[in-house]
Amino acid sequence: MSGLLQGKSVIITGAGSGVGRAACLLFARHGAKVLALDIGLEAVEETAAMVTGEGGTALARECDVGDAGAVDAAVAALVEAFGRLDVIYNNAGITLQPRPGYAGVRKLVDTDDDEIERIYRVNVTGVINGCKAAVRQFERQGGGGVIVNTASVAGLIGWGGSAYGSSKGAVTLLTKTLALELADQNIRVNSVCPAGMATNFIPGLQTSDAAKASMAATHPLGRPIDPMDCANAALFLACDLSSNITGVNLPVDGGLSAGVPPRR
């Protein structure tokens, strides 16, 4: 299978690790020309090198998605390099970092204001900045275009902490409202909603087999979620296979958000 994004120009944010890196590799394997963005330049350069090492096309650029000017400049750089923008995948996101001595999911009352601000700046403002910059470019091109966001299962059901969950709830509703707002311009907006994955997202998780197993056990399908599972969902939402789908928040969660499993 190849070529689902043949010749398309794509921006992927949070591309230095996890889901973003997997999406860069997968989209490029499907023929996309990728501009990989991340706040960490070294990591995103490594992603671009992995893509080009496989014979794909990718450029890397440092970009803080919370900075609207930097996101606009990244879109301009993509247009300069590849001529147009077809798809933006607003994937960058952060969560609260573990606090020494604090067990379990962090309560809202124990979350500092600056921690909440930091999360909202990346997870909400960052996605909004990506959407606005992309829509302006889609309009310059005469309409049409695709936006994919990474939300979370935490944007669909109560899951994890309130600071993170509420930021992802903003992304799932933004996805729906914006989809309606842009439908008459043939701009589609959907999101991928992952459950927990062992990426760099939560420090230490990748190396803890016990934590990974307990996370997998929360999924009715019983398996861990892999970043490539999310990249596959994002590919479907980015390409023409989903040309009549907009305003959808697609769970990639092994059934976690489906409801309460029956007692066995």
3-state secondary structure the chain: CCCCCCCCEEEEECCCCHHHHHHHHHHHHCCCEEEEEECCHHHHHHHHHHHHHCCCEEEEEECCCCCHHHHHHHHHHHHHHHCCCCEEEECCCCCCCCCCCCCCCCCHHHCCHHHHHHHHHHHHHHHHHHHHHHHHHHHHCCCCEEEEEECCHHHCCCCCCHHHHHHHHHHHHHHHHHHHHHHHHCEEEEEEEECCECCCCCCCHHHCHHHHHHHHHCCCCCCCECHHHHHHHHHHHHCHHHCCCCCCEEEECCCHHHCCCCCC
Shortest distance in whole angstroms from residue 3 CB to ligand NAD: 25
- Give whichever of 152 and 172 is closer to ligand NAD, judged by the CB atom: 152
Shortest distance in whole angstroms from residue 264 CB to ligand NAD: 26
CA distances from 74 to 86, 137, 182 (A): 14, 11, 22
Shortest distance in whole angstroms from residue 80 CB to ligand NAD: 20
164 classed as catalytic: yes
- Give whichever of 42 and 240 is closer to ligand NAD, judged by the CB atom: 42
Shortest distance in whole angstroms from residue 63 CB to ligand NAD: 6
- Give whichever of 146 and 151 is closer to ligand NAD, judged by the CB atom: 151
Q: Residue 199: what residue type? A: T
Of 89, 102, 120, 164, the active-site residue reads: 164
Shortest distance in whole angstroms from residue 213 CB to ligand NAD: 15
- Give whichever of 67 and 139 is closer to ligand NAD, judged by the CB atom: 67
Residues within the interface to ligand NAD (CB under 6 A): 13-14, 16-20, 38-40, 43, 63-66, 91-94, 122, 126, 150, 152, 194, 196-197, 199-201, 227
- Give whichever of 233 and 239 is closer to ligand NAD, judged by the CB atom: 233
Active site residues: 164
